[in-house]
Amino acid sequence: MTPEKVALTTTSPAPKPRSNGKADNALAAELTRLLGPKKVLSNLSERLNYRYDAIQFGATPLAVVLPESTADVVTAVRAARAAGVPVVGRGAASGLSGGAAPTSPGLVISFTRMTRLDIFPERREARAQAGVVTLAVTEKAKPHGLIYPPDPASFRTSTIGGNLGENAGGPLCFKYGVSGDYVKGLEFVDADGGVHELTRDAYDLAGLLIGSEGTLGLITEATLRLTPPPKYTRTLMASFPEVGACAEAVSAAIAAGAVPGKLEFMDQACTNAVEDFLAIGLPREAGAVLLVDTDGDDLGTVEEERALVEAACLNAGGTVRRAATDSESAALWQARRSVSPALGRIRPQRMNEDIVVPRSALPEVVREIRALGDASGLPLVQFGHIGDGNLHPNILFDPRRESPEAVHDLAHQIALVAIRHGGVLSGEHGIGTMKRAFMRDAVDPVTLGALRDVKRALDPTGTLNPGKILPDEDGTHAHP
Amino acid sequence: MNHEIPVQNIGPQGEVMAHAVDACVHCGFCLPACPTYALLGDEMDSPRGRIVLMKEVLEGELALADAAPHLDRCLGCQACVSACPSGVPYGELITSFRGWSEPHRERSPLDRAKRAAILKILPAPKVFSLAARAGQYTKPLAPLLPAALRAPLDLLPERVPAMQPSPRVTPARGRRIGRVAFLAGCAQQALAPNFNAATLRVLARNGIEVVIPEGQGCCGAAALHTGARDEALRLVRQNLAAFDPDEYDAILSNAAGCGAGLKEYPVVLHGLPDEEQARAFAAKVQDISEFLAGLLRQGDLEPPMPTSRPLTVAYHDACHLAHAQKIRLAPRELLRAIPGVTVAEVPEGDLCCGSAGTYNLEQPALANELGVRKAGNILSTTPDLVVSGNIGCHTQIQSHVRRQGSRVPVMHTVELLDLAYRGEL
Ligand SMILES: Cc1cc2nc3c(=O)[nH]c(=O)nc-3n(C[C@H](O)[C@H](O)[C@H](O)COP(=O)(O)OP(=O)(O)OC[C@H]3O[C@@H](n4cnc5c(N)ncnc54)[C@H](O)[C@@H]3O)c2cc1C
Ligand code: SF4
Ligand code: SF4
């Protein structure tokens, strides 16, 4: 019997899979010595699984640490520093910009076992370790009449550490803000292995770490703000013959004074991919579908806002359907959350954009992008948090059929559309390696210099997640 | 997922596997659905991780022996399939992979003997019944035995019932509205003969003639899912010969695992000459609950009698019904058709009970952990009765519920229906 089998014939609690101790490099051996075999993965089969996120495959790490405490993180960071290898933080690896995929062999610290979560209802706060799954915060807060609003579509999988690493948003961000807006304090480990406790005053260093994609420090714990959920929510779905009309309806509804809780759209290809998965009767023929929640504590206002949105949709040539029951609206929102992976049914690979444009420019932008897609001959789909002007144009491709250069070119053109209309490159998914090449288009050289200075100040040796966000200084930048 | 799997060297099953790997966009949506990920919290024991491991082995980047421990921990519950918006056929991937890799595996003699014994005993009802009886007498010795031998004993009911022979043909009672073929099953005949008896009674009462074709055997699922592909092919072909789909309105199974196995025949035979035949066969296969719910919807199901007092029934979704066959509504509709029954939803209902075919025997520690969790979740609904549609789940749940000190009856969906018809609820 192999050691594996022996380990598994003991009774509960479930034994953690054990590395068989065959550390095949010095770093793995040293980490195993320091932390014990349970927390260190060193076999090839284990390490191969910590080289990707939801968009990209990177370099196979030399070792993986699954810390259970901040102290473990400190030990791991110090060992990697001593070995002179990079350190990449990893949550659930649901990231869409290559953030958690290592650019060179080093150490991956995966937070999935740091899952302590305490709720302090009287202070409306949660204290969460980095590996806590996002949805778990709301689930644990709900009995106290509280929720944690940031709701990325990946919230059943993604972790608080990864959400803060990317400053993730979700449908609720239109009215309620993104992850960073709910952070009251952070504990993080720096590139030297020092532990820091941050609040949001003085220099807002916590704010700087949020969205820094693990390049400035590793977040180990966060104090999060909780809020009571709105008393009433009403859901509607509108379908439009064409994407631009959908964007017009959104602009008009907001101009009329509606502040919906959620405002999301998906185009025809998205709707069809999701319908293939869920079969809940989404309108397959519509050029675009809009999903809207209006919410609040006053039912009259909630209904009024829904009427405003409805009128705007009808005006723009849309057809409106109200969700009659809670389960109907739950199904519609599950549909929206499933868009991204459901696109895999069309092509196995995709280039995922995450642009944000001013709302006034929305109709023009979605139409321009549609036209670019049509002209390129590549399958291009659009969806996103349209209320925020946050669009996710996705280029779907099969590397055996479509040329990566053509994909990259189209992605670049889309980025330029956003910039031309006064928009930015990333709303929530981060820059990672995917959009690093476009940073020079989006950020002026002086500002880029300031960003580099910040990175140098916090991570002088370039240990933390190298090759992400900032393009190389010599002017070359690797294509994704 | 990009891959370089040498499909041409592997053959038709290589196509099946390459297609599945290709379809995965590594989004991680399946992670929270996976029981082993829930218990172990690492990527290698998640669906996404396993897909990568299989890809690496098929591409020759990783030794099979290195990937095997993680692949062996997969229950085959297919919860990941239900959770996957990209439509990755994970079930087909792992089954094909196990079949492909088994001949390349190095196993200890003890391991081999154990597997051979399982594959011999499980599909042969008479042998199983004998073994179960022998086991029943050995039960008091269980604490003295090594864990690997203890696990199967732990699962045996206190009393192993006598085998009940099933008639070849059960005529419809009253107006005959249909004719079906029935797969009698293997272990189930020994452990819970009343499942079949109740099934025949309920069908007959509703005007359905039931034929148990001669020459049928085990569905082959156990062999298939443990990688014994040749044995599985033999059983599949035996059943294709025994059941002529043109003769029946439907081919029924009352065990979720077997039903799922029968529906898988076209994948097993993918690229082989009898693939078409398997397709015609699989098109007729239905789970008993699916078939009866069909009658209910057409208004053809005789209404069951009301219960004597209000009953809370905890319905357990067997993985091979809910995930593999996508049947969730039908059994609930049938239960709700009994006046006086309220169906309770089990928390974490989508998480496997840990039974999963031969998993209990091969991964007793993980299986036990899941069994404890499932029983706790079921009991938290304070049910009067527990119902499921699969013999494996039945045995596992019954044994864990008892261990947690509850005497609540655990039944098959048709048993409950049968009791309701007889006014015994
Ligand atoms: C189907 C799907 C839908 C999605 N929908 C949304 C959406 O609606 N909104 C949205 O914003 N995003 C969305 N995403 C992207 C992704 O889920 C988010 O970026 C999420 O926040 C990543 O969390 P994670 O735990 O998976 O982090 P990972 O992917 O593991 O890591 C993300 C980044 O954070 C860093 N990091 C991870 N943990 C730490 C830590 N403890 N300290 C410091 N740095 C760390 C990593 O190095 C990496 O750079 C979606 C992804 C998928 C696959
Ligand atoms: S949900 Fe589907 S596509 Fe996503 S990682 Fe899992 S198997 Fe792959
Ligand atoms: S079949 Fe079940 S155990 Fe196996 S990977 Fe899928 S969810 Fe996990």
- Domain contains A428: no
**CATH code of residue A49:** 3.30.43.10
Asked whether B24 lines ligand 2 (CB < 6 A), one says yes
**pLDDT digits over B84-108, tens only?**
999 999 999 999 999 899 888 888 8
Q: Which long-range contacts (CB under 8 A, 24 or more apart) does A184-187 make?
A: A184/A125, A184/A223, A184/A224, A184/A225, A185/A222, A185/A223, A186/A210, A186/A219, A186/A221, A186/A222, A186/A223, A187/A70, A187/A219, A187/A220, A187/A221, A187/A222
**Which domain-ending residue is among A330, A358, A384?**
A330
- Domain contains A5: no
**pLDDT digits over A159-210, tens only?**
999 999 999 988 888 889 999 999 999 999 999 999 999 999 889 999 999 9
The amino acid sitting at B19 is H
B76 neighbors B66 (Cβ within 8 angstroms): no
Asked whether B84 lines ligand 2 (CB < 6 A), one says yes
- Domain contains A297: yes
pLDDT at position B129 over 70: no
Spatial distance between the Cα atoms of A262 and A252, rounded to a whole number of angstroms = 15
B25 neighbors A11 (Cβ within 8 angstroms): no
% residues pLDDT > 90 (chain A): 72
The torsion region of residue B386 among left (phi > 0), alpha (psi -120 to 50) and beta comes to: beta
Domains held by chain A: number: 5
Phi, psi of A76 (to 5 degrees): -65, -45
For residue B80, what pLDDT is reported? 96
- Domain contains A436: no
Spatial distance between the Cα atoms of A52 and A58, rounded to a whole number of angstroms = 6
For residue A478, what pLDDT is reported? 43
Q: How far is the CA of B72 from the centre of ligand 2 (A)?
A: 19
- Give the residue on A whose Cα is nearest the Cα of B146: A9
Asked whether B354 lines ligand 3 (CB < 6 A), one says no
Residues A148 and A81 in one domain: no
Q: How far is the CA of A8 from the centre of ligand 3 (A)?
A: 17
For residue A15, what pLDDT is reported? 34
The residue segments making up the domain with residue A276 are 232-330
Residue A479 pLDDT level (bands cut at 50, 70, 90): very low
CB contact under 8 A, A276 and B87: yes
A184 neighbors A125 (Cβ within 8 angstroms): yes
Phi, psi of B83 (to 5 degrees): -85, -10
- Give the residue on A whose Cα is nearest the Cα of B63: A45
Topology adopted by domain B7-104? Fumarate Reductase Iron-sulfur Protein; Chain B, domain 2 (1.10.1060)
pLDDT at position B121 over 50: yes
Look up residue B109 and give its two tokens: 């003699």
Hey, which of A118-132, B161-175, B264-278 has the most confident mean pLDDT? Answer: A118-132
For residues A108-125, average pLDDT: 97
Task: Give chain B's mean pLDDT.
Answer: 88
Task: Pick the ligand that lies closest to the CA of residue B30.
Answer: 2
Rounded to a whole number of angstroms, the distance from the CA of A255 to the nearest CA of chain B is 35
- Give the residue on B whose Cα is nearest the Cα of A54: B27
For residues A334-355, average pLDDT: 88
Residues across chain A: 480
- Domain contains A167: yes
User: Whose C-alpha lies nearest to ligand 1, atom 5?
Assistant: A153
- Domain contains A143: yes
Residues A398 and A463 in one domain: no
**Which domain-ending residue is among A275, A299, A330?**
A330
pLDDT at position B296 over 90: yes
Residues A244 and A165 in one domain: no
**Which domain-ending residue is among A295, A330, A365?**
A330
Residue A353 pLDDT level (bands cut at 50, 70, 90): confident
Asked whether B35 lines ligand 3 (CB < 6 A), one says yes
Residues of A in contact with B147 (CB under 8 A): 9-11
CB contact under 8 A, B26 and A52: yes
Asked whether B33 lines ligand 3 (CB < 6 A), one says yes
Residues of B in contact with A12 (CB under 8 A): 365, 368-369, 372
Pick from A201, A200, A202: nearest CA to A225: A200
> B-contacting residues of A 3-22, CB under 8 Å?
4-5, 8-17
Spatial distance between the Cα atoms of B388 and B288, rounded to a whole number of angstroms = 12
> B-contacting residues of A 111-140, CB under 8 Å?
112-113, 115, 133
Q: How far is the CA of B73 from the centre of ligand 3 (A)?
A: 9
Asked whether A160 lines ligand 1 (CB < 6 A), one says no
Residues of B in contact with A94 (CB under 8 A): 27-28
Spatial distance between the Cα atoms of B69 and B166, rounded to a whole number of angstroms = 41
**pLDDT digits over A279-301, tens only?**
999 999 999 999 999 999 999 99
pLDDT at position B229 over 60: yes
Residue A9 pLDDT level (bands cut at 50, 70, 90): very low
Determine whether B96 is exposed, middle or buried from the number of CB atoms within 10 Å of its CB (0-12, 13-18, 19+): buried
Residue B163 pLDDT level (bands cut at 50, 70, 90): low
CB contact under 8 A, A57 and B2: yes
A29 neighbors A22 (Cβ within 8 angstroms): no
For residue B138, what pLDDT is reported? 60
Residues of B in contact with A92 (CB under 8 A): 28, 31
Pick from A119, A196, A112: nearest CA to A161: A112
- Listed in order, the ranges of chain B carrying CATH 1.10.1060.10 are 7-104
Residue A13 pLDDT level (bands cut at 50, 70, 90): very low
For residue B135, what pLDDT is reported? 59
Q: Is A276 on the interface with B (CB under 8 A)?
A: yes
**pLDDT digits over A23-68, tens only?**
568 999 999 999 999 999 999 999 999 999 998 999 999 999 999 9
- Domain contains A3: no
Residues A241 and A198 in one domain: no
pLDDT at position B154 over 70: no
Q: Is B87 on the interface with A (CB under 8 A)?
A: yes
Task: Give chain A's mean pLDDT.
Answer: 89
Spatial distance between the Cα atoms of A132 and A157, rounded to a whole number of angstroms = 10
Q: What is the DSSP string of B55-121?
A: HHHHTTSS-HHHHHHHHHT-----HHHHH-TT---HHHHHHHHHHHHGGG----HHHHHHHHHHHHH
Residues across chain B: 425
Residue A3 pLDDT level (bands cut at 50, 70, 90): very low
Residues A123 and A221 in one domain: yes
For residue A189, what pLDDT is reported? 98
- Listed in order, the ranges of chain B carrying CATH 3.40.50.11810 are 302-422
Residues A99 and A129 in one domain: no
pLDDT at position A4 over 50: no
Q: Is B160 on the interface with A (CB under 8 A)?
A: no
Packing angle between helix B275-284 and helix B256-263, nearest 10 degrees?
140
Smallest Cβ–Cβ distance between A11 and the set B110, B363, B365 belongs to B365
**pLDDT digits over A300-325, tens only?**
999 999 999 999 999 999 999 999 89
Rounded to a whole number of angstroms, the distance from the CA of B244 to the nearest CA of chain A is 32
B68 CB neighbour count, 10 Å cutoff: 20
**Beta bridge partners of residue A223, listed in sequence order:** A127, A185
**pLDDT digits over B317-373, tens only?**
999 999 999 999 999 999 999 999 999 999 999 999 998 777 887 888 999 999 999
**pLDDT digits over B13-57, tens only?**
898 899 999 999 999 999 999 999 999 999 999 999 999 999 999
Residue A16 pLDDT level (bands cut at 50, 70, 90): very low
Smallest Cβ–Cβ distance between B44 and the set A12, A17, A94 belongs to A17
Spatial distance between the Cα atoms of A356 and A422, rounded to a whole number of angstroms = 9
Residues A237 and A319 in one domain: yes
For residue A163, what pLDDT is reported? 97
Spatial distance between the Cα atoms of A307 and A290, rounded to a whole number of angstroms = 15
Smallest Cβ–Cβ distance between A1 and the set B44, B108, B368 belongs to B108
- Domain contains A274: yes
For residue B233, what pLDDT is reported? 92
B215 neighbors B251 (Cβ within 8 angstroms): no
For residue A428, what pLDDT is reported? 73
Residues A238 and A300 in one domain: yes
Q: How far is the CA of A105 from the centre of ligand 2 (A)?
A: 25
More reliable by pLDDT, B146 or A251 = A251
Residue B160 pLDDT level (bands cut at 50, 70, 90): low
A423 neighbors A361 (Cβ within 8 angstroms): yes
B375 neighbors B316 (Cβ within 8 angstroms): no
The architecture in CATH of the region B302-422 reads 3-Layer(aba) Sandwich (3.40)
Residue B126 pLDDT level (bands cut at 50, 70, 90): low
B31 neighbors A90 (Cβ within 8 angstroms): no
For residue B162, what pLDDT is reported? 67
DSSP state of A290: E
**Beta bridge partners of residue A349, listed in sequence order:** A397
For residue A211, what pLDDT is reported? 94
Spatial distance between the Cα atoms of A111 and A73, rounded to a whole number of angstroms = 9
Q: Is B350 on the interface with A (CB under 8 A)?
A: no
DSSP state of B305: P
Determine the atom of ligand 2 nearest the C-alpha atom of B87: 2
For residue A28, what pLDDT is reported? 94
**pLDDT digits over A234-281, tens only?**
999 999 999 889 999 999 999 998 999 999 999 998 999 999 999 999
For residue A443, what pLDDT is reported? 85
% residues pLDDT > 90 (chain B): 65
For residues A369-390, average pLDDT: 91
Determine the atom of ligand 2 nearest the C-alpha atom of B31: 6
Residues A212 and A238 in one domain: no
Q: Which of B2, B30, B42, B50 has the most A C-beta neighbours within 10 Å, making it the best mutation to test the interface with A?
A: B42
User: Whose C-alpha lies nearest to ligand 1, atom 18?
Assistant: A95
Smallest Cβ–Cβ distance between A277 and the set B44, B56, B85 belongs to B85
Residues of A in contact with B26 (CB under 8 A): 52-54, 93
Strands (DSSP E) found in A310-392: 319-322, 349-352, 355-356, 380-381, 383-385, 390-391
Task: Pick the ligand that lies closest to the CA of residue B84.
Answer: 2
Residues of B in contact with A15 (CB under 8 A): 365
For residue A23, what pLDDT is reported? 57
Q: Is B306 on the interface with A (CB under 8 A)?
A: no
CB contact under 8 A, B1 and A14: no
